Structure 1
Amino acid sequence: MGVVKVIEIMGNSKVSFEDALQNVVEETSKTIKDIKSVYVQDMQVTVKDNQIDEYRVNAKVSFGILQD
């Protein structure tokens, strides 16, 4: 029987939501192996001088846990 763990990660980007999400996956995969899926829970932007300054995502990353 497999077990999946879910962690919540926040990512950001000056480029786009897609880039912010890619940053979540890239950074998480440096320490977490066997990522199964990413669920975008929330998206938001920060605004500076009436322009979008930063894209932010709050995501849930699920990954498999090895069992003996």
Structure 2
Amino acid sequence: MSVATVTEISATSTESFDDAVKQGIDRASKTLRNIRGAWVKENNVNVEDGKVTEYKVNMQVTFELDT
């Protein structure tokens, strides 16, 4: 039997939404063990002078608890 929990994180990138997800998971994996998946809840962009300057994702990361 395994037990999992979910934590919500936000991550940003100047390149793309995909890169923001990768950076978020990379950073989360430095603190959380046994990450099993993530659900991207929201995508947002910051805009300056009519141009996208930053991509932001809010996601829920699921990880198994140690037994």
Query: Structures share a fold, TM > 0.5?
Result: yes
* 1:3 partnered with 2:3: yes
In the TM superposition, 1:1-68 aligns within 5 A as 1-67=1-67
Runs of 4+ in 1 over 4 A off after TM superposition: none
Q: Which runs of 5+ in 2 are unaligned?
A: none
Deviations 1:21-50, CA, capped at 9 Å, x for gaps:
001100000011110001000000000010
TM-score normalised by structure 1 residue count: 0.96
TM value normalised by structure 2? 0.97
What displacement does 1:7 show?
0.1
| Percent of matched pairs sharing the same residue | 36
